[in-house]
Amino acid sequence: MTIRFHKMQGLGNDFVVIDARNQAFSPLLNIIVSLCDRRLGVGCDQFVLLEAPDRPGADVKVRFFNPDGSEAGACGNASRCVVALLGSAPVLQTAAGLLPSFENAHGVPGVDMGAPRLEWQDVPLARPCDTLRLPLAGEPAACSMGNPHATFFDGIGDAATRGPALERDSLFPERANIGFAQVMARGALRLRVWERGAGLTPACGSGACAAVVNGVRRGLLDRSCRVDMDGGTLDIVWREDGHVLMAGPATHVFEGFWPV
C-alpha cells in the first residue's frame, strides 16, 4: 500500500505533508523518522500531518513533527505551506490554537500565529525566571509561540556550535528552539535558528515571530520588522492586540507516493 505525500518548502525550511483527511495514516515514529531521512527517505526538516478538524471554526487540523519524532506545537513555515497547498485562506487548528490565514497585498501567504506567551511557566522554563533575561550566558529572552523559543541578540555567527547544548539546557524542560539574532535596524533583523529536534535550518517561522516579540520587549525593534534568515525573508508584525502576523513565500516542490 502507498500513501500520497507533498514535498513543500518555505524559505528552504522543507516539509513532507500527508493529508490524512482522505487516506488512512497513523503517524508512527518509525514512519516519520524514515520519511524525514534525507538519505533513506524523502527528506525534510519537519513532517506535517493534516487531519479532520475537531474544533468549530477550523478548516483543517495540522500537526507538526520534528525529524527525531518529537511533536511541536507550532511551525510557522509549515503553516504557510499548508495555506499555499489548500488555498482559500483556511483556518488552521493547531496545538497553539486556531490560526487564521491570509494573503498579503502581494499575494504572499501569511498566518496569524496568535499571541506569544511570556510567562516562565508558558515557555516552559524549569523554574521562575524573568523571561526578558534568562539566567544563561548571553542573557537570551524567551517566549512561547506555541513552541518554546529563546533568542540571543549577540550575533548569528556561532549558532551551530552553541545551539546543541542550549537546546537541551536544564532550564528548558521541553527543550527549546534557540535563535541567534543581529539587530540591523529597528525594522530589520538577521536571524539563525537552531531548531529543537531538527538542528540548524535555513529558516524558522515561529523563531522569526519569537525573535521580533523578544526584540520589541527588549526595546531593540519596532513591532513591524523584516527578518532575514539564510533561506530568505519573512515579514513579521506584532500587532497591538497581541497577535503576531507572519508573511512569506511557500512553495509546492513535488508530490509522490510512500510505501506504508
Ligand X SMILES: N[C@@H](CCC[C@H](N)C(=O)O)C(=O)O
| Distance in Å, CB of 145 to ligand X, minimum | 7
Q: Are 79 and 101 in contact (CB under 8 A)?
A: yes
User: Residue 88 and residue 5: Cα distance in Å, rounded?
Assistant: 20
- Here's the x/- map for ligand X, 78-117, by CB under 6 A: it reads as ----------------------------------------
**Are the CB atoms for 140 and 149 separated by under 8 Å?**
no
Q: Does the annotation count 225 as an active-site position?
A: no
Residues 33-62 that bind ligand X (CB under 6 A): 45-46
User: Quick check: 177 binds ligand X (CB under 6 A)?
Assistant: yes
Strand, coil or helix: 173: coil
Angstrom CA distances, 222 to 86, 139, 140, 191, 219, stand at 32, 20, 18, 16, 8
Which run of H or of E encompasses 6?
Answer: strand 2-10
Alpha-carbon distance 118 to 122, whole Å? Answer: 7
- Report d(CA 118, CA 2) in Å as an integer: 43
Q: Is 80 marked as a binding-site residue?
A: no
Question: Given CA atoms 245, 75, 163, 11 in this order, what sign does their dihedral have?
Answer: negative
**75 carries an active-site annotation:** yes
Chosen residue from 167, 195, 228, 235 binding ligand X by CB under 6 A:
195
Tell me if 196 contacts ligand X by CB under 6 A.
Answer: yes
Our CB check for ligand X shows the closer of 186 and 243 to be 243
Among 5, 7, 9, 13, binds ligand X (CB under 6 A): 13
Q: Do the beta carbons of residue 74 and residue 112 sit within 8 Å?
A: no
Does 131 interact with ligand X (rule: CB under 6 A)? Answer: no
**Residue 104 marked in a binding site:** no
* Residue 26 annotated in ligand binding: no
User: Considering the complex, what minimum distance in angstroms separates the CB of residue 246 from ligand X?
Assistant: 9
**Any known ligand binding at 93?**
no
Active site residues: 75, 204
- Can you give the binding site for ligand X, defined by CB under 6 A? 13, 45-46, 64, 66, 72, 75-77, 147, 177, 195-198, 201, 204-207
Show binding-site residues. Answer: 13, 46, 66, 76-77, 147, 177, 195-196, 205-206
